[in-house]
Structures are given as C-alpha cells and as structure tokens.
Structure 1
C-alpha cells in the first residue's frame, strides 16, 4: 500500500493506521529539513515494530525526479517480499 506523507503529518500514525502487509511511504522532497530527517529516521524502527507481519519501506522523490523512476522504486519495494526498513532516494537525472 502506498502512503503519502503530508507536510506536518505524523509518519508513525500514518504507517500504523494503514492496512496491508506492505506499506510504502512516499516522503515528499518539499518537507523542511528537520521533518525530512525525522521521517527518514522513523522507517527502520517502524519496520522493526511491525515485523514480521508487515513490511515498511519508503521512497523520497527529490525535486525533479522522474515520476517513472519513483513508480519503479515503489513497484520494486511492493514486490520484494524480504525487504523491509529500506529508504530509496530517487534523484533527478
């Protein structure tokens, strides 16, 4: 399940409140630096907390990232059954 973190959103509540065995958080590059750091730091602990029943991963699409690359990263994480706690930064080409 793809979850989009909104500016000012609570990543822990977003992930814990979702349904499904795979939860992928799309973290927008527009977050302020502190919120971005907190969101990135939360992925590993949330993955540990919800394992083994749920996989938690994240994708950060930096400004100018190709939407096709973001989609490919999400698809990869959705279909990688042994991958959890990972954060993929998608950079502009």
Structure 2
C-alpha cells in the first residue's frame, strides 16, 4: 500500500491506496565477458567482433538484456611496453 498526501505542509493526512504508486522494477540479467575469451571455429582463437555479435544474439535469445564488455582500447604508446590480454595491440 502506498501513502499519498495532498494536504498543505504541517497538515498532512496520509491517504492510503491499494494501487501501487510506481510499477515494480523489471528484473534483468546479463553477461560480463572478455572479448579475447569468446572463441569460435571461425575466429583466430582469441575472439573478435563477429564472435561478440554471435554471442550477443545467442544471449538475447536466452533472455539476457545486457552484455558487459571490457574496453577495447589500444595500449598507450609509452614505455615500458608490457604485453597484456587487456590491450588489443598486444594480442
């Protein structure tokens, strides 16, 4: 039950209603993935955007509403250069 007031300040009298004041939040779920972890027979074994597209379509059919993906940025051109799976330039 939600309480709604329509009296001026200092003279509030709650009015009770069986109708909800706002709709219940819609529950959703999704995946958190690393692009390099998505693999298919068509990719080079490290995941690519075509693999991501297939995964997103599969996820949507499974009922997911979100696919969280880490940033796909190139490494900064500074030294020391350290290879990392998080940088597209070092894969």
Length-normalised TM-score, structure 2: 0.29
More helix by share: 1
Larger RCO: 1 or 2 (CA < 8 Å, sep 6+):
1
Greater C-alpha Rg: 2
More strand by share: 1
Length-normalised TM-score, structure 1: 0.29
